[in-house]
Amino acid sequence: MDDYLAGDGALLALSPHLDDAVLSVGAALAAVAATGRPVVVCTVFAGKPVPPLSDPAVRFHRDCGLGEDAVAVRLREDLAAVAALGATPLHLPFLDALYRRHGDDWLCTWLGAHFDPGLPAEPELVAEITAEVGGLLRSLRPAAVWTCAAVGGHVDHRLTLATATAACAAEGVRLAQWEDLPYAIGRPAGSGPGRLLTGPVPATHRERKLAAIGEYHSQLGMLFPAGGPAWREAFAGHAAARLATHGAEELVWGAGPAAGAHASGSGLSPSR
């Protein structure tokens, strides 16, 4: 991984939602942060919706045990989780799919619609996110960017991957993709877009990841309804399985260096 992170620039993790980066690559991010390299976890869909909300959004909040201040609660959870990894959080203002409208109706009209590959295209949103990420790249000048591979097919994951790919190509920044968790838990690993960048990490970083995941109180009960230690067992079991088959607890794949990849400067921006 060191040769992929050339120079002294930050590692930028572009997370679709307020938990995805930590759930998927928290141990690897903690390991990079422990070397002294700046690590920025930027959540794309962290905007606060204006009521009234759609029925699916209201149901989602109920399933998570959240009220009208749902996004504010999740933002606080994310601040604590990212800090537990030794990273810096950054929150972009774009709305989660459950809060977005399409014309006169909601984009997601039923709970689970965000996984529908036939959802209407959102070209204006794609352009806005690509421009925002491009500006962030020019400001931060990261050594590399990691984002989701969109395993599971969530529309926000697909948009994050598409816009990160476009912005990184335009700015000449290296882009790698992680295996999305918890979607990939219990599934065989894909081959990935390029070589595997990650390897084994010390137990201390695995524990830091679990501690960080534990900060997402509102999400754990929804993702793992069995409660108790079920989520810990799920992540630990997945890590052990991937270590046995791939030599790494968390999978991050990267292509070759991008032309003119930035390799210096930190320029960290505060969370917003």
> How many structural domains is the chain composed of?
1
User: 68 has which bridge partners?
Assistant: none
Residuewise pLDDT in 10s, the chain (272 residues): 655 676 789 999 999 999 999 999 999 999 999 999 999 999 999 999 999 999 999 999 999 999 889 999 999 999 999 999 999 999 999 999 999 999 999 999 999 999 999 999 999 999 999 999 999 999 999 999 999 999 999 999 999 999 999 999 999 999 999 999 999 999 999 888 899 999 999 999 999 999 999 999 999 989 988 766 799 999 999 999 999 999 999 999 996 544 333 333 322 222 33
Bond into 52 cis (ω within 30)? yes
Q: Is residue 64 part of a domain?
A: yes
Residue 97 domain flag:
yes
Cα–Cα distance for residue pair 71/117, rounded to 1 Å: 25
Structural domain includes residue 108: yes
Q: Is residue 3 part of a domain?
A: no
Would you say residue 215 lies in a domain?
yes
Residue 1 within a domain:
no
What domain range is 88 assigned to? 11-254
Q: Is residue 180 part of a domain?
A: yes
Q: Is residue 270 part of a domain?
A: no
Decide if 42 contacts 175 (C-beta within 8 A).
no
CATH code for position 88 = 3.40.50.10320
Q: What's the pTM? A: 0.92
